[in-house]
């Protein structure tokens, strides 16, 4: 058995040998490190095939306060990004042969990439992803209303000036 988190263990099969050289799907492990949580940012961009860049860190978005922003589990680096509860939306459940996990949906992934390009490989990487991402997203009016309520729309400086 390998410890994943406090009170959470991963059963390592005997085939792993004495070194316990075994790796569970890192996205499935991410689902158990914070609750609620979703794989997000560069990791989600890679999951949706918007980038060929393989993330060295699994980004986990959560509305739960975590003790640390980063941690390693079985050699895999995880980074937790705290968001306000009203910004934690737009997720979808997925499964692999090793279990289930939650990932931000395509629309939320694109919004997050534009909001925090530093978590998605910087602005140049985000710009390269835009053509592929734009074809993949499916905006509907309900989604736009939810997103606009989660973040106030900035007013232009000319609207705030009084004469």
Residues 113 and 3: their CA atoms lie apart, in Å, by 32
Q: How many CB atoms are closer than 10 A to CB 66? A: 16
Where along the chain do its domains lie? Answer: 24-148
Averages of pLDDT over each 10 residues, the chain, 163 residues = 60 54 75 94 97 95 91 90 94 91 96 96 95 88 63 47 39
Angle, nearest 10°, between helix axes 141-150 and 106-115?
40
pLDDT of residue 6: 66
Closest by CA to 60, choosing from 112, 12, 115, 107, is: 112
Residues 78 and 76: their CA atoms lie apart, in Å, by 7
Model confidence pTM above 0.95: no
Tokens, residue 162: 């009084």
- With tokens 């390009």, the residue in question is 117
pLDDT of residue 161: 42
pLDDT of residue 46: 97
């Amino acid at each position: 058995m390998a410890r994943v988190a406090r009170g959470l263990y991963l059963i390592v099969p005997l085939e792993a040998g004495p070194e316990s050289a075994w790796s569970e799907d890192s996205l499935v492990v991410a689902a158990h490190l914070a609750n609620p949580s979703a794989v997000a940012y560069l990791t989600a961009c890679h999951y949706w095939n918007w980038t060929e860049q393989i993330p060295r860190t699994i980004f986990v978005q959560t509305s739960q306060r975590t003790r640390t922003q980063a941690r390693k589990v079985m050699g895999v680096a995880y980074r937790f990004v705290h968001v306000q509860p009203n910004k934690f939306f737009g997720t979808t459940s997925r499964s692999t042969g090793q279990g289930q996990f939650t990932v931000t949906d395509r629309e939320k992934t694109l919004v997050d990439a534009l909001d925090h390009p530093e978590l998605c490989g910087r602005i140049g990487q985000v710009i390269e992803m835009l053509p592929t991402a734009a074809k993949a997203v499916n905006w509907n009016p309900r989604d736009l209303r939810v997103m606009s309520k989660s973040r106030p729309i900035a007013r232009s400086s000319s609207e705030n000036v009084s004469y």
